[in-house]
Amino acid sequence: MREIILDIEKWVTQGKRVAIARVISLEGSGPRDAGAAMAVNEDGVVSGSVSGGCVEGAVVTEALEIIESGEGKNVTLESSCAKLFCSEILGKIADRAVQIHGGAGYMSEYAVERLYRDARLFRIYEGTSQIQQLIIARETIKNFKN
């Protein structure tokens, strides 16, 4: 966290705009603890990490759009949608790769075996697909009421 704060201070003194993303407390939310943070400056330079997975790029893209627009935004819905989509598509791609390799796809001598194992983890950590669906439903209902 100290490294992130130092980077933010440096960027601000350089006159750069900064966006900050933080992990909120969610049951089953994965390897990053609540409060984990990430900062992105207007040049796209990143400090810290909020996901360590396929969501990171989506967070950076959204942060840059927010910096460009100049207004803050709660991106809980968008980040959950991105996480769910990326992890499910990766799982389908890895499954097809194993299918193409046949029985050899399960053997550790082939890279596709590792890809399949790793892809399965993306559906579990950082909040399971079911947790992401609950978050999407909750945020959609909240947005509908407003």
Q: Which positions of the chain have pLDDT values less than 70?
A: 1, 22-36, 49-59, 62, 72-73
Per-residue confidence (pLDDT) for residue 37, from 0 to 100? 72
Domains, the chain, ordered by start: 2-69 (no CATH), 76-145 (1.20.140.10)
Per-residue confidence (pLDDT) for residue 29, from 0 to 100? 47
Q: Cα separation of 140 and 86, whole Å?
A: 19
Which residues are identified as catalytic?
Answer: 126
Per-residue confidence (pLDDT) for residue 53, from 0 to 100? 58
Distances (CA, A) of 62 to 5, 41, 58, 112, 118: 20, 12, 6, 31, 25
pTM of the model: 0.55
Per-residue confidence (pLDDT) for residue 65, from 0 to 100? 74
Per-residue confidence (pLDDT) for residue 137, from 0 to 100? 93
Share of the chain above pLDDT 70, in %: 79
Per-residue confidence (pLDDT) for residue 134, from 0 to 100? 92
Per-residue confidence (pLDDT) for residue 54, from 0 to 100? 54
